[in-house]
Structure formats: structure tokens, C-alpha cells
Chain A
Amino acid sequence: MSEVIVITSGKGGVGKTTTTANVGTGLAQLNKKVVLIDTDIGLRNLDVVMGLENRIVYNLVDVVKGNCRMKQALIKDKRYPNLCLLPSAQTRDKTSVTPEQMVKVTDELREEFDYILLDCPAGIEQGFKNAIAGADRALVVTTPEVSAIRDADRIIGLLEANELKKTELIVNRLRMDMVKRGDMMSIADVTDILAIDLIGAVPDDEQIVVSTNQGEPLVGSDCLAGQAYANICRRILGEEVPFLDLETKSGVWSKFKDLFKKN
């Protein structure tokens, strides 16, 4: 009963890759067998965020073209033995793979893994079509900005048109202080427009930048974003997890941090 999940957004820079890395690592922490596929051919960076760049020998295009076996291209994560990465090619473009070939790849991986996460490229062209071809479920990532929401809305429409019924929303980069001031849309505003189920809200967190630069996903750490990602993973498994109270915690947390900064 493996599940293929595509992480997509339409707009670039909203946190698809970061979400893929953290959700994948989080599911691995919950003892699931997980493989991450970077479908952003030509602009690969999931490997960098995972800190596995130096291990790449073969990539997705090699697997599709039959230059190597699947086993050879899969990179085992350095922290979790049950987590693998199938990196994308850097020197090719999106047309090197067709949706049919992606379905074949995901079907092959279904036999061995519980969760197959597809990191989708930005846009709605070939790369997007490849990424959603083999997916059972989609996580749509958006930030509380009109441009990101507009693109997410388009993406949800396209997912529906492709009969991908299970579509859930992640609102990323929330800043509760700005929401409170009325300078940023709240989670309710976003879900009101997009009208799909919310599976998680992740606060804007400096630690994310640090963790992506270091190639160490922060899921499960005690910062708010890490907890938010851990909760998303549990919800993916079907658990009922209450949403983090970002407001009070971020308030206390920032005050706490401010206290230290002053000293």
C-alpha cells in the first residue's frame, strides 16, 4: 500500500524542495521506507538541501534511458537508512522524460517503498506533467501571498482536471506577527480562497535557511517549523494531530529569543 505523493506549487520559491526534504525525512523518522525523486530536471537542488550532492553518480534520466539500474541511481541518506533519493539530471532538460516513463519509474519504486515523494518543478509545463503523472496524492505548497495563491489555485484546477482527487494544502512561511497586524493573509483567508483541506501550516523561520544551507532537514527539531513539518508527516500517515498554535508559541518563543539577544 505504497503511496506516491507529489509536492507542487506552481510558483517558484515557496518551499517545495524544502518541504519535500523535511516531509521525506520526517516520514523516515517515523520508520517508513521513503524515496524522494527530484523531477526538476536541469535545475536540481533537492540533493543539495538533503546534503547528498557529493554522492550522485547516476540520475533520473539515466534510469529512464536505461543507462543504469534503479538500484544504482538511488542514493541512501546519510542519517536514515530507510530514506533514499533519486536525483535529477543537471545537464538535460524537462523533455528528456515523458509522463509515461515517470509512471513506470514510480510503479517500480512502489514495490520497495512505502512513500514516494516527487519534488515538482515550478510552472505548469512538461516538468509538472511528468511529476503528477504517477502521483496518487498531491501536497500543494503556497505562501500567504496573492501571487502564490493564484498559482496554487491554477495548480489545484489542473490537478482536478488530471483526476488527482486527494489534494491537500500546506501554507508555508507564515508570519503570525504580520497576520496579527493585518499585513499578511491568515490561514483562514488562504483556505477560504483555495477551498481544499489544510494539512499543515509552517511558520517563517530563520532556522529553515540555516538547515537548507547545511543540508540537514530540521524536521523533528524543537523549533516551530521543525514541529510543524513533523506534524504534517503524522497527518500524512492519517493521524489526527491538532494544529500548532503558532500565535502564542511564536510570541513566547520570540520573546524568549529576544531576551537572549539582549544579553
Chain B
Amino acid sequence: MQQPVVLKSNKYGINLILNDHMEFKELLQCIIDKFKESEGFFKNAKMAISFEGRKLTQEEEFEIVEAITENSSVQIICILDNDQLKEELVRQKIEQFEEEQAGRTGEFYKGTLRSGQVLDCETSVVVIGDVNPGAKVISKGNIVILGALKGNAYAGANGNMQAFVAALDMDPVQIKIGDVIGRSADKTAKDRKKKKQPVEPVEPQVAIVKDGNIYIEPITKGLLNSI
């Protein structure tokens, strides 16, 4: 006998292959059970959904979507037809959505990033620790370092020039925001020697793009409001 519902994932979400010979109410219950079963797997996933194997009315489609969102933590962004053109549009929509989310959501990384290590994030990232010379942080959103930035940071990796890099101790080798790259000033022997003298206490700074250049400035209320 054909299974009432089969879940198949594709690039943007999942495809539901539905049984054509069942009562809709019965089928709906099967779908709910299926999603409850795989709750741990989908956990808070945001996805597009598409249907196959059965002709559904718009009301039925909505009913299914509602049932899924009510009974699991899955968030359905949109309903997808099995149609090339629409698929492309949806892909763009989803990517745009992810891009927006990248700036707004974030993750934490605890620990020191050492030479040779690369932290690559889809969202903004907060590093609790130092980023040492030779290490690299890449983020599609913003980068905040609760420690010293002595290595490379690349914020707005998908070309977002509004992204920023903030650090408690800003001493980077290179900062890239969007398409703009800034590197540290070449230190003269004199500077290096000077550093050994008791230095003034370091202050947190933030790097932003202004007029196509990267500026590093102390974090002030005014500056924070402007970004």
C-alpha cells in the first residue's frame, strides 16, 4: 500500500508526497504525526514547502501548513509549486531572507581562535576570546570580538557594506567589510619599541565603511546610533 505521506527534502525546503486515495482529514492527521516524529530533526527550521501526488485546493494547502506550524517548531516561509520559474523566484526570496537574517541573528563562539583557524558564519558572530594573528573570522553579518582582534576579520561576506567589526582590543592584520579591504599600518621599528612602554589602556573600537574606506573609531553612543 502507498504510504499516506512521504517527506523529501530539496534545496529550499521539503517536498510532501501525498497519497491520492485517502480522506483529506485522515491524511492531515498523518502529516501531523509525521512532523511530530521528526520534530528533533527539523527543530526551528525555516523552509519552503511543496506538494506532490495529489491535487489540493488552496484551502487544503493552507490547512496543511497551519497544521504543521501548530504542531511543530517548523516555520514555513512559503508554499512552492513544482514549477521551474517559481522555484527560481523562491530561491531568490529565501536567499534574500537569509541575507536579512544574517545581519539580525547571530551566534556565539567561545574560545581563542589561533593561527590557521577559520571561523565562517552565515550570521553575525560574537567571539568570546581573542582572534590571534593568522586566524580569520568570516561572517555574512557583523563581527563582535570580546577580546583582542589581532588577526583577520571579514564582515558582510556577501557584499554587505553596512556590516561592522567591533573588538575590545582592535589590532587587526586585515579587516574586510563587503568589498573593502583595510590593512594595518606598517609598523616602524620605533613603534614596536614604543609598544613595550606601558601603553595607554586599550579602548573598544569599531570598524565601519565610510566613503569606500574602512574607518576604525572608538565606540561611542553617537557612532552606535549611526550604524
A residues sitting closer than 8 Å to B (CB atoms) are 146, 150-151, 153-154, 156-158, 160, 182-183, 193, 195
Name the CB-closest residue of B to A10.
B115
Give chain B nearest CB distance to A155 CB in angstroms: 9
Give chain B nearest CB distance to A23 CB in angstroms: 24
Are the C-beta atoms of A153 and B132 separated by less than 8 Å?
A: yes
- For the A-B complex, the count of residue pairs with Cβ-Cβ distances under 8 Å equals 35
| B86 is an interface residue with CB less than 8 A from chain A | no
Given A182-B193, A182-B197, A195-B130, A157 contacting B116 (CB threshold 8 A)? yes
Q: Complex formed: what's the CA distance from A153 to B133 in Å?
A: 9
Query: Nearest 5 pairs between A and B by C-beta?
Result: A182-B196, A157-B114, A154-B115, A153-B115, A154-B116
Are the C-beta atoms of A195 and B134 separated by less than 8 Å?
A: no
1/0 contact string of B86-127 vs chain A (CB within 8 Å): 000000000000000000000000001111110000000000
Question: Given the complex, which residues of B lie within 8 Å of A156, measured CB to CB?
Answer: 114
Given A150-B134, A157-B117, A195 contacting B196 (CB threshold 8 A)? no
Which residues of B (114-165) have their CB < 8 Å from a CB of A? Answer: 114-117, 129-130, 132-135, 150
Given A193-B150, A195-B130, A153 contacting B114 (CB threshold 8 A)? yes
Q: List 29 A-B contacts (CB under 8 A).
A: A146-B133, A150-B133, A150-B134, A151-B115, A153-B115, A153-B132, A153-B133, A153-B134, A154-B115, A154-B134, A156-B114, A157-B113, A157-B114, A157-B115, A157-B116, A157-B117, A157-B135, A158-B116, A160-B114, A182-B193, A182-B196, A182-B197, A183-B193, A183-B196, A193-B132, A193-B133, A193-B150, A195-B129, A195-B130
B residues sitting closer than 8 Å to A (CB atoms) are 112-117, 129-130, 132-135, 150, 193, 196-197
Given A157-B117, A182-B197, A195 contacting B112 (CB threshold 8 A)? yes
Are the C-beta atoms of B114 and A154 separated by less than 8 Å?
A: yes
Name the CB-closest residue of A to B195.
A182
Question: Given the complex, which residues of B lie within 8 Å of A182, measured CB to CB?
Answer: 193, 196-197
Q: Complex formed: what's the CA distance from A146 to B115 in Å?
A: 12
Name the CB-closest residue of A to B130.
A195
Q: Complex formed: what's the CA distance from A84 to B150 in Å?
A: 43
Q: Complex formed: what's the CA distance from A106 to B4 in Å?
A: 58
Question: Given the complex, which residues of B lie within 8 Å of A183, measured CB to CB?
Answer: 193, 196
Give chain A nearest CB distance to B24 CB in angstroms: 53
Give chain A nearest CB distance to B195 CB in angstroms: 8
Question: Given the complex, which residues of A lie within 8 Å of B117, measured CB to CB?
Answer: 157
Give chain B nearest CB distance to A208 CB in angstroms: 26
